[in-house]
Chain A
Amino acid sequence: MRSEDLIQLAAAKGPLPEGIDRADAMTQTPVGLSDWLIIMPVILPLLMGVIGIMMRAYPRWTSRLTVAVLAGVVLASAALLSRVIAEGPIAMTMGQWLPPFGISLVVDPLGGLLTLLGSITGLIVAVYALSDVDFAARRAGFYSMLCWLIAGVNGAFLTGDIFNLYVWFEVFVIASFGLIVLGGERLQLDGAVKYCVLNLIATTLFLIAVALLYGTLGTLNMADLSGKLAAYPPDDPQMLTIGLLFFVGFGMKAAAVPLHIWLPASYHTPKPVVSALFAALLTKVGIYAVLRTYTIVMPASNESVLFEVIYVVAIATIVLGLLGALAESNLRRMLGFLLISGVGVMLLGLGVDTRLSLAATIFYTVHSVIVMAGLYLLAGLMERRTGLTSLHRLSGMYTGAPVLAVLFFVLGFAAAGLPPLSGFWPKVLLIEASLNEQQYVAVAALIVNGLFSMMVVGRAWALMFWRPVVTAGIIPQAETPHPREQAAPVPKAAALSAAPTPPKAEPTPGHNPPALLVPVVVTAAAALIIGVWPTPLLDLSDIAAGDLLDPSAYVQAVFGSAP
C-alpha cells in the first residue's frame, strides 16, 4: 500500500537530484484500520493510567476497570502475535512521515511474543493486587503506574526507532520509580535510591550510544540502520565502541555481572507484587534490547569480538548469580540472584550466536517472565502468611500451607530447569547449540547452573516446608533480623486498618484469600504446560530467531520493499 504510494509519487516527481534523500516522504493515506492493532498494547494502558489518575477517589472501581482494560490488552497482543505469525513482520507509520523519517512501530515475532508476555504479566499482577494492595496505595496511583509501566514495556517491544526505544525505556523507568517507593518505608527508600540512580545512569549511557550511532550513520530507524551498517566491516572501531556502549547500558538494565549490584539491593524492598512485576519484565526489556541491537541494528558485527565479550559476561553472570543465591538467607533476595543467573543464560544464547541458541534465549525469556512472576508473588504470599522473609525462620509450612508447598515446588524447580517443567527445554537447546559450536565452557556453565540452582531451590524448599517449626535458637548469633522482621510478625491487617477504608479481603494471619492464589496457580500451570508441551513455543522461538538473524523481512515490512 505505502510502497505503491511511494512509487507513484516518485514517478510523478521525476528523478531526484543528486545527493539528497527522498523528499517526497509524505503519505496522504490514513493508517489502515487493521494497523491500529499494533499500537493497542501501548495506547490502551497509557489511557487507562490517565483515567486511573482522574478516578483516584474511586479506587475499587478503578482497579476493576484496570483489570478489564489489561485483559483487553492481552487479547489485542494475542491477536497481534497471531497476525505476525501468519503474515511475517508488520509495520505501522505514525503521522504522515514515511520511514526512515517518521517513527515506525514494527512487530516481528520476537516483539509480538514479548508484548503478549508483558501484557499477561500486567494482567496477572493487576489481579493479584486486587486483594493484596491496600486502598491507600491504590489512591497513590498504584494501578496507574502499573498501566504506564506496561505501556512503556510494550512500547519498547514494538518500536522500530532506536531513539523512540530510549523514550519508552524512560517511560517504564519513571513508572517503576513510582512503584518502588510506594509505601515509603525506610527499607524501600534505601533500595529505591540505589535502583533509581543506577537505572538513570544506564539509560543515559544508552542515550550516548544512540547519539554516537546517529552521528556515524545519520539515521535512527532500526531497519535503515541495518542497511547502512552492512557497509561497515566487522570490528570497525567506531562500531565496536558504540556496540559496547549499548551492551553496557542494556546489560546494566538486564542486571548482568558486574553491573547487577542494584538488583539484589533493591528488589526485596518494595511490595511483593511490585517485585514480581519488575523481576518478570524489567530485566527482560534489557535482554530484548540487547537482542534487537545486536541482530537487527548491527548485523554486520556478527563476527565481532563483542560476541566474545557477551559470552564471557554471560558465563560470569550464570556462576556469580548462583553463588549469590547459595549465600542468601532472605527468600526474596535469593530469588533475585536466581533471576540474575537466568539473565546469564539468556545472554549466553546471544554470545553463542547461532539460530538454535537465539531460539533458546527467546524460549528462556518466556519461561523466565512466567516463572519469576510466579515465584515473587509466591514469596509475597508466604510473607503475608507468616510475616517472615528469612530462610532461618520460615519453617514447617508444609502442614500449614500444602498448596504453597506444591506451588513453590513447581515454580522453583521450573526455574532450576528440571524436566518436565518449562526451564528444562531452553537449557537443553542451549547445550545442544553450544556443543555444535564447540563452546565447552558454555556447556559446563549450563550444567553447573542446573546443579546449583537445584541445590538453591531444593534447600529453600526443604527449609521452608519440610523442616519442623524452629525456635529462635537456630539463628546464628550474628544475625540482626531483616528490617521487615524487626517489628515481629505483625499481621499486615493492623497496618491496613489505618487506611480510611480497609480492603474487602483482610488478611487474617494464617490464611490468604483464595483469590490471591489464582495468579500464582496460573503461572505454575503455565510452567507445567510449557514443559510438557513445548512444541508451539519452540517453533515460535525458532521463527523469531530466524527473523532476528535475517533482518530482510523486518526491513521489508518497514520500507514496503526489499532494500
Chain B
Amino acid sequence: MMEPALAAVVVVYFLGSIFLLTSTNLIRILLGVALLGNAANLTIFTAGRLTREVPPVIPEGAMQPLAQTANPLPQALILTAIVIAFALFAFILVLVYRSYQELGSENVDRMREAEPLEYPRPPEGY
C-alpha cells in the first residue's frame, strides 16, 4: 500500500517546516509556514486512504459504486485548504515586505518596535 510511503513523506515535510519555523529569518519562517500548509494537505490526502485512480462515478441504474473508487472528499478538503492558505500566504508575504521596508530588517530578533528591549519598570508608587 502507498499510505506508509506517503506518511514518511509527510514526516519529512513536517521536519523541514519545523526546522524553518525555528529560524530567526522571516523569509525562512514564511517558507516554513508554506511547507506546514502543504504537510497538512498531504496529511488530509493520506488520511482519506489511497486507492487506484477510479473516479467516484455510479453507473446508471446502480445504487452504489461497483468497484472501489477514489475518495473525493479529501480532495475537496485539500482544494479548500489550498485556496485559503494561498490567500493568507499572499497577504503575509506583502506584510513581511512592508515591514522589511519600514523596520529595515527581516530578522525577527531585531523587530522590537512593539516590544522594546529597554522596557520601563512598572510603576512602583507615587
Q: Give chain B residues whose Cβ lies under 8 Å from the Cβ of A265.
A: 114-115
Q: Smallest CB–CB gap between A279 and chain B, Å?
A: 16
Contact of A197 among B80, B84, B92, B126 (CB under 8 A): B92
CB-based contact B114/A194 at 8 Å: yes
CB-based contact B96/A193 at 8 Å: yes
B4 at the interface (CB under 8 A from A): no
B116 at the interface (CB under 8 A from A): yes
Instruction: Give the CA-CA distance A23 to B62 in the complex, in Å.
Output: 11
CB-based contact B91/A478 at 8 Å: no
Q: Smallest CB–CB gap between A237 and chain B, Å?
A: 16
Please report which residues of chain A, range 166-186, place their CB below 8 angstroms from some CB of chain B when the two chains form the complex. Answer: 166-167, 170, 173-174, 177-178, 181, 184, 186
- With A186-B113, A204-B37, A268-B114 known as contacts, the answer to whether A476 contacts B84 (CB < 8 A) is no
Q: Which bucket holds chain B's interface residue count? A: 35 or more
Task: For B120, give the chain A residue with the smallest CB separation.
Answer: A479
B102 at the interface (CB under 8 A from A): yes
Please report which residues of chain B, range 79-126, place their CB below 8 angstroms from some CB of chain A when the two chains form the complex. Answer: 80-81, 84-85, 87-89, 91-92, 95-96, 98-99, 102-103, 108, 111-116, 118-123, 126
Per-position contact with A for B33-54: 1 when CB-CB < 8 Å, else 0?
1001101100110111100000
Instruction: Give the CA-CA distance A177 to B94 in the complex, in Å.
Output: 12
CB-based contact A214/B92 at 8 Å: no
Main secondary structure of the interface of B (DSSP, over half): helix
Contact of B99 among A192, A326, A482, A483 (CB under 8 A): A192
Q: Give chain A residues whose Cβ lies under 8 Å from the Cβ of B89.
A: 200
A20 at the interface (CB under 8 A from B): yes
Q: Give chain A residues whose Cβ lies under 8 Å from the Cβ of B40.
A: 204, 207-208, 211
Contact of B122 among A178, A204, A326 (CB under 8 A): A326
Q: Give chain B residues whose Cβ lies under 8 Å from the Cβ of A191.
A: 113-114
Q: Give chain B residues whose Cβ lies under 8 Å from the Cβ of A186.
A: 102-103, 113
B16 at the interface (CB under 8 A from A): no
CB-based contact B64/A20 at 8 Å: yes
Q: Which bucket holds chain A's interface residue count? A: 35 or more
Contact of A475 among B37, B39, B120 (CB under 8 A): B120
Q: Smallest CB–CB gap between A277 and chain B, Å?
A: 18
Q: Give chain B residues whose Cβ lies under 8 Å from the Cβ of A266.
A: 114
Q: Smallest CB–CB gap between A191 and chain B, Å?
A: 4
A329 at the interface (CB under 8 A from B): yes
Contact of B91 among A196, A476, A483 (CB under 8 A): A196
CB-based contact B74/A483 at 8 Å: no
B67 at the interface (CB under 8 A from A): no
B77 at the interface (CB under 8 A from A): yes
- With A196-B92, A215-B48, A483-B113 known as contacts, the answer to whether A476 contacts B120 (CB < 8 A) is yes
Q: Give chain B residues whose Cβ lies under 8 Å from the Cβ of A482.
A: 116
CB-based contact A204/B46 at 8 Å: no
Q: Smallest CB–CB gap between B84 and chain A, Å?
A: 5
Instruction: Give the CA-CA distance A475 to B43 in the complex, in Å.
Output: 54
Task: For A460, give the chain B residue with the smallest CB separation.
Answer: B123
CB-based contact B118/A479 at 8 Å: yes
Task: For B38, give the chain A residue with the smallest CB separation.
Answer: A204
CB-based contact A167/B114 at 8 Å: no
Q: Give chain A residues whose Cβ lies under 8 Å from the Cβ of B73.
A: 214, 220
Interface centre among B21, B77, B111, B115 (most CB of A within 10 A): B115
A290 at the interface (CB under 8 A from B): no
Per-position contact with B for A288-324: 1 when CB-CB < 8 Å, else 0?
0000000000000000000000000000000000000
Q: List 26 A-B contacts (CB under 8 A).
A: A163-B77, A167-B80, A174-B87, A174-B88, A177-B91, A177-B92, A177-B95, A178-B91, A186-B102, A187-B114, A190-B112, A190-B114, A193-B96, A197-B30, A200-B88, A201-B21, A204-B85, A207-B40, A208-B39, A214-B44, A264-B115, A328-B122, A459-B123, A476-B121, A478-B120, A479-B118
Other 19 A-B pairs with CB < 8 A, given A191-B114, A480-B120:
A163-B80, A178-B91, A186-B113, A187-B113, A190-B111, A193-B108, A193-B111, A194-B114, A197-B29, A200-B33, A204-B85, A211-B43, A212-B47, A214-B73, A214-B74, A215-B47, A265-B114, A392-B123, A476-B120
In order of increasing CB-CB distance, the 10 nearest A-B pairs are A215-B47, A479-B120, A190-B113, A189-B99, A211-B44, A211-B43, A191-B114, A190-B114, A170-B84, A207-B40
